């Protein structure tokens, strides 16, 4: 790859940490923890800790790989470099599908929330979601430095809203001190919740995905992942405790933390801060997923898994316009369809398989290049595969079918280099 086709290394440690936080604090904090409470009941704290442990193992494996192979593309590139072209392609294929659907879901959530305030038909929510997606796409086209500046604002406001909610929950007695049901007879609810919550952690992978744009990646990437995981785990534990105070609302299909404030009849500033934080966090998720998916598309184009024109950078080498616009097009199409229930259902399966490939690649790193012990990657691999067994069979079948569809495309297009 020629020098003029590689990105400028402009991201420092704070920027990498903010990128990781912005990729996680959104649907994870405002939605997934609520689903976890529905599945695990009073065991939600344990589910959060299990998910955090598995995610930390996977994050360290990602850091190991990104430090010695710091190029855009994440596990897609690691699969090619350390495993096989089929496994590399599978990682990239799953990443694009799952994260495009996640971004479209977040855009629709913003649209429906706004139309819910002021009234309006469903198509208006889709239009608003598409406009939000377009605005954030223009930010990404400005390069990673400008995107990081916007991301810092979004992350700060989202965390502020979460802290307001957590503080409110700790200071206000819960109505009736209702208790959540504990799963009976088997740990299925606990581990199913851990599988969903693992997805809520996986935004740290975006740090590795942009490894080509990080300064001194061998030091910055591992530190950024560890700090991100610590901050997010503490937030999730506090949110999980708070949701146990309001069990009737934790599992609602349209759950956001602002619902709890409304349910407790809290008027004024608290309600608006939490509600706006939820919308801002969703925008942060979209921004970071646009970055992450476009970089994977760029990496796949470099290897001819997608048309080569998608690998072209702008003259300043700060953005890949063709890859970004294709990312926008895929996400906008999903917003226009408006039915992402299946995409949400198999997102857990896709990321568990994705990080299974990550850990497998990390196990192939030579001893002289390794700075994490092998048992971390082994634990991450076995944990990902183990949690996948607790997902619904329909989800697993759908995920396998999508993997096979992608491999058919890849086999027809692949040319050895």
Q: Is the dihedral of CA 322, 416, 408, 102 positive or negative?
A: negative
CB 286 within 8 A of CB 106: yes
The region that residue 120 occupies, defined by phi over 0 for left and psi between -120 and 50 for alpha, beta otherwise, is: left
- The span from the CA of 37 to the CA of 45, in Å, is 9
Estimate the share of the chain in helix, then strand, then coil, as percent rounded to the nearest 5.
80, 0, 20
pLDDT by residue for the chain (417 residues), tens only, comes to 444 455 566 566 777 777 777 767 766 676 677 667 777 777 888 888 898 899 888 888 888 887 777 766 678 888 888 998 889 889 888 888 878 878 887 888 788 777 766 777 767 888 888 999 998 888 777 765 555 666 677 777 777 777 777 777 677 655 544 444 444 435 567 888 888 788 778 776 667 666 666 666 667 777 788 888 888 888 888 877 777 765 544 444 444 554 545 544 454 556 677 777 778 778 877 887 888 788 888 878 887 888 878 877 766 666 678 888 999 998 998 888 766 556 566 677 888 899 999 999 999 988 888 888 899 999 999 998 888 878 778 888 888 888 898 888 888 776 554
Q: Identify the burial level of 416 via C-beta atoms within 10 angstroms of its C-beta, where 0-12 means exposed, 13-18 middle and 19 or more buried.
A: exposed
The model carries a pTM of 0.75
Residue 209 falls within a domain, yes or no? Answer: yes
- Report CA torsion sign: 257, 263, 268, 270: negative
Q: Is 378 among the domain residues?
A: yes
Rounded Cα gap, residues 313 and 322, in angstroms: 8
Beta-bridge mates of residue 11: 214
Residue 174 three-state SS: coil
Check which CATH number belongs to the domain holding 22 and give it. 1.20.1740.10
In a domain, 2, yes or no: no
Residue range(s) defining the domain that contains residue 383? 14-411
- pLDDT for res 379: 93
Q: What are phi and psi of 265, to 5 degrees?
A: 60, 35
Are 3 and 213 within 8 A, CB to CB?
Answer: no
Number of domains in the chain: 1
* DSSP state string for 259-283: HHHHHTT--THHHHHHHHHHHHHHH
- In angstroms, the Cα distances linking 151 to 73, 289, 307 are 20, 12, 30
Cα separation, 339 vs 333, whole angstroms: 11
pLDDT on residue 398:
80
287: burial class by Cβ within 10 Å (0-12, 13-18, 19+)?
buried
Is 416 part of a structural domain of the chain? no
Would the CA dihedral through 336, 337, 339, 342 be positive or negative? negative
286 dihedral zone (left: phi>0; alpha: psi -120 to 50; beta): alpha
Cα–Cα dist 88/109, whole Å:
32
Residue 4 domain-assigned (yes or no): no
């Amino acid at each position: 790859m020629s020098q003029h086709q590689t990105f400028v290394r402009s991201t420092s440690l704070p920027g990498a940490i903010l990128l990781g936080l912005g990729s996680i604090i959104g649907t994870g904090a405002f939605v997934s923890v609520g689903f976890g409470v529905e599945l695990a009941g009073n065991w939600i704290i344990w589910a959060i800790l299990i998910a955090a442990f598995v995610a930390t193992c996977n994050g360290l494996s990602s850091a190991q790989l990104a430090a010695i192979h710091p190029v855009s593309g994440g596990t897609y590139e690691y699969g090619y470099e350390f495993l096989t072209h089929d496994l590399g392609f599978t990682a990239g294929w799953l990443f694009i599908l799952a994260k495009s659907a996640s971004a479209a879901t977040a855009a629709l959530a913003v649209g429906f929330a706004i139309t819910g305030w002021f009234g309006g038909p469903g198509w208006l929510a889709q239009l608003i979601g598409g406009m939000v997606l377009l605005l954030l796409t223009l930010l990404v086209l400005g390069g990673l430095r400008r995107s990081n500046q916007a991301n810092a604002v979004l992350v700060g406001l989202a965390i502020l809203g979460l802290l307001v909610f957590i503080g409110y929950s700790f200071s206000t007695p819960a109505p009736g001190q209702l208790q959540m049901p504990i799963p009976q007879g088997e740990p299925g609810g606990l581990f199913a919740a851990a599988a969903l919550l693992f997805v809520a952690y996986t935004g740290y992978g975006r740090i590795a995905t942009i490894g080509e744009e990080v300064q001194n990646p061998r030091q910055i990437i591992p530190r950024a992942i560890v700090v991100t995981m610590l901050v997010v785990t503490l937030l999730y534990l506090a949110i999980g405790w708070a949701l146990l105070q309001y069990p009737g609302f934790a599992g609602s299909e349209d759950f956001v933390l602002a619902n709890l404030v409304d349910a407790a009849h809290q008027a004024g500033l608290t309600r608006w801060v939490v509600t706006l934080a939820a919308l801002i966090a969703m925008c942060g998720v979209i921004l970071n997923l646009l970055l992450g998916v476009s970089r994977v598309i760029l990496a796949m184009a470099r290897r001819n898994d997608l048309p080569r024109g998608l690998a072209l950078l702008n003259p300043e080498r700060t953005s890949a316009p063709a890859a970004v616009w294709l990312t926008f097009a895929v996400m906008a199409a999903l917003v226009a369809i408006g039915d992402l229930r299946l995409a949400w259902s198999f997102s857990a399966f896709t990321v568990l398989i994705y990080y299974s490939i990550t850990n497998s690649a990390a196990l192939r790193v030579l001893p002289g290049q390794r700075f994490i012990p092998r048992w971390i990657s082994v634990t991450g691999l076995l944990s990902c595969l183990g949690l996948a067994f607790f997902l619904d069979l329909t989800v697993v079948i759908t995920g396998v079918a999508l993997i096979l569809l992608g491999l058919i495309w890849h086999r027809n297009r692949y040319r050895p280099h």
